[in-house]
Amino acid sequence: MATKIRPSVSESNASYISKERRYELVHFCKQYDEWKNEIKKETELARPGEFDPTGNKAVKLARLNGYICLVEEAAKQTSNDLFKYILEGVTHNKTYEEVRACMGIPCCRNEYYLLYRRFFYILSEMRD
């Protein structure tokens, strides 16, 4: 079930970011599993003693790891106690109900969506 991206929150909201920035960050986070799979694929394909004289593979792996760490750190800064639920929601585009059904989230719907919006604000600040 695809979740509709809520394009914006009120400019008076403490977690306000523009509609375009929100779309950018939502789609950025949806690549989380792709990054993890790419790292796994790259490291599995490496042969013992293989040498990349240009360092392209190392640069690519560092970039992908950086993206993963950025998303995870933003989730932790949003809520250290609920970061795994926030991470699941933002990286897999899940609603509160879907996160609650698969992970048993220990907070109410309103709190989850406050944290969800806060996550994107924090991520926006971290990516600047």
Q: How far is CA 29 from CA 47, 54, 57, 106, in A?
A: 30, 29, 22, 23
Question: Hey, is 73 helix, strand or coil?
Answer: helix
Query: How does pLDDT run across 62-72, given as a tens digit for each residue?
Result: 999 999 999 99
Distance CA 24, CA 29 (A): 9
What tens digit of pLDDT does each residue of 57-111 get?
A: 889 999 999 999 999 999 999 999 999 999 999 999 999 999 999 999 999 999 9
Output the pTM of the full model: 0.85
